[in-house]
Amino acid sequence: MSGAIGDSPLLLDGSGGVEVSFSHLKNLPDGAQYLDTATNLTEPKTLVLKNSVSTKVVNGISVTTDRHLIQFTWKKKTAAGSDRFLTLNFTAAVPQDSVITSAMYLELLAHLIDLLSDGTWSGSGYTTHANADAILIGKTG
């Protein structure tokens, strides 16, 4: 990845190691939507980033949680002209409590990246993806 969230374009690594450019498309009520500049609005590949805060009472105690959504969607048309959507979501629900630290968040994020990339993610792309393939076919254990 080059650049940072908020930059436009936002450059993200693709599976083949080539950077993909996402330009800011529009602001959303709780975030923003980006468009892969190599796609178009008929068959877009988009990135949505959203943030929200919610509070609920658990066992008589008010708990406030920050929620962060990263959503990639790729729309394609079938030969018959119907729309099909591939969507990947990552949601982080982070309670606003001192027992939850950013180091804990980063640890779980590292586990997720390692799981999906079989520990091989690098600037050269997605070189091994057996775990991601297993998840895709429903294997959980």
Domain segments of the chain as ranges: 101-141
Output the six-digit token pair for 133.
């393939």
How far from the centroid of its chain's Cα atoms is residue 14's Cα? 13
CA angle, 111 then 126 then 11, to 5°: 90
10: number of Cβ within 10 Å: 22
| Prediction pTM value | 0.82
Q: Return the pLDDT at 8.
A: 72
Q: Return the pLDDT at 128.
A: 62
Distance (Å, whole) CA 7 – CA 15:
21
Q: Are strands 10-13 and 19-28 parallel, antiparallel or unpaired?
A: antiparallel
129 class by beta-carbon count within 10 Å (0-12 exposed, 13-18 middle, 19+ buried): middle
- Model pLDDT for residues 51-89, shown as the tens digit of each residue: 999 999 989 999 999 999 999 999 999 999 999 999 999
Q: Return the pLDDT at 46.
A: 96
Q: Return the pLDDT at 7.
A: 62
